[in-house]
A and B are shown apart, each in its own frame.
Chain A
Amino acid sequence: MLDKGRVGGECRVDDFVRQEMTALLPRLVRFATALTGSRAEGEDLAQSTCERAIRFLDSWQAGTRLDSWMFRIARNLHLNQIRAAKVRNRHLREVAMDPPADVDGATAMEARITLNAVRNMVGRLPEEQRSVLMLICVEGLPYHEVAQVLDLPIGTVTSRLARARVALKTMLEQRRGRDARPESKVLP
């Protein structure tokens, strides 16, 4: 016998999750792009993530965040792909980052150059630091969620985040130093 109430309830939940998953896509693609370095690969990774998430939807724990769960799937898929490609030290892997998406087309040239440089700096971070930085700084996930996404103790999350911030700060200072130097050659 078909239980109308149950099927009805299930459809409603599925509908809710489907909408939330669709709404989540832009952020999922962004995170996947930061993992792979390329928008195209990021979109592919996001697609496999959605397929996998829907297939294993029943194992998603009620009471946990859908975004965290999907970031986790995306990151694990990505690590599996790299493992299959036999990349050594995959946790430390760097990527060459695609330039920023030109959204309004009005971003000033200089700002674009700076932002592109920042993206490349983020790409130069080892994967283990880059994931933490993206999830906390860009996606705004709480530390404890990130610990679950990456299967790490919170202490490791905070120390990786600190290392990422220090590394970026240093790279920015070096860049500023490079920019400032030519000025001193221009004598009146």
Chain B
Amino acid sequence: MNDNREAGFDVETLGAYLDGVLSAEAANALEQAVSDDLRTRRALAEIALTDALVRTAFAGDAQAPVPARLIATIDQGFAARAGDARGRPGNRRRTWIAGVAAVAAALVLSVGLSTWLAERHVEQTLARIEADHATDRMLRAQAVSSALETALSGTPVEWHNPDSGGSGTVTPVRTFRSTDSRWCREYQSVTTAGAQTERKRAIACRQDNGIWATRVEMPIDS
């Protein structure tokens, strides 16, 4: 009953990895899984995409100008404090200066360095995921054009990406002339990435330049 383990890493762990807070040991295990298991890779990529969208969607809010009244509130508030301070005996605030300076320095060092180190790894992992995706897409596109150009209807053309573990078949189903008298072919494709399998039915027509352009594509339930 190790379904949970087989299901791979949960969103909490994947997120923690992207946030750079996973222990080195756990991060290594995850990076290994990302290399071995396509489902983990996809899951990680999806969270990274979601995060990136959220970050971008709110990026402008911190770049838009802040109303002058807010800055005035701060300036006036501190001016009033300075007025009060003159009549008030000193308290623990002198130790503050050292404290604040030390904290500021520590922050720059610890946050800066650890996020930089973590991000460097995460960036590399995400780049690898993206590269694998791109290779899968390219191999599939090549299989589509080779199947449509050369394969008899009913004969599958296979592709396989050893780096990502992704694979699939493209099978022409029937051939016909379109109303604008082009050669068109209906085909089915099966794409497997990790545990996910995607089936599609599509129609492509051969253009004057010899390239098969897919005109319709719809997912079909397995």
Contact = CB atoms under 8 A, between A and B. Distances in A.
Interface of A: 2-3, 6-7, 9-18, 21-22, 25-27, 29-30, 33-34, 39, 43, 46-47, 50-51, 54-55, 57-58, 62-65, 100-103, 114-116, 118-119, 122, 133-134, 136-138, 140, 142-143, 158-159, 161-162, 165-166, 168-169, 172, 183-184, 186-188
A30 B91 CA distance: 34
A50 B71 CA distance: 9
Most buried by A among B70, B82, B205: B70
Contacts of B59: 103
Interface residues of B, number: 62
Given A115-B53, A168-B54, A27 B85 contact: no
Contacts of B61: 26, 29-30, 33-34, 39, 100-101
B12 A103 contact: no
Contacts of A25: 66, 70-71, 74
Interface stretch (B33-41, B148-156, B160-168, B214-222): B214-222
B216 A187 contact: yes
A76 B78 CA distance: 22
Nearest to B53: A118
Given A6-B90, A10-B85, A142-B111, A114 B53 contact: yes
A169 B203 contact: no
Given A10-B85, A65-B107, A118-B54, A43 B16 contact: no
B50 A101 contact: no
Interface string B61-82: 1111011011101110110111
B77 A136 contact: no
A16 B100 contact: yes
Nearest to B115: A140
B46 interface: yes
B78 A29 contact: no
Nearest to B78: A18
11 contacts: A6-B94, A9-B97, A14-B82, A25-B71, A103-B59, A115-B56, A115-B57, A133-B54, A161-B12, A183-B217, A187-B216
A148 to B, nearest CB: 14
Given A21-B74, A188-B203, A172 B50 contact: yes
Given A30-B58, A188-B184, A188-B205, A165 B15 contact: yes
A103 B203 contact: no
A90 B162 CA distance: 51
B10 interface: yes
Contact of A26 (B16, B56, B62, B94): B62
B63 to A, nearest CB: 5
A34 B59 CA distance: 12
Given A51-B73, A165-B11, A188-B178, A119 B46 contact: no
Contacts of B63: 26, 101, 103
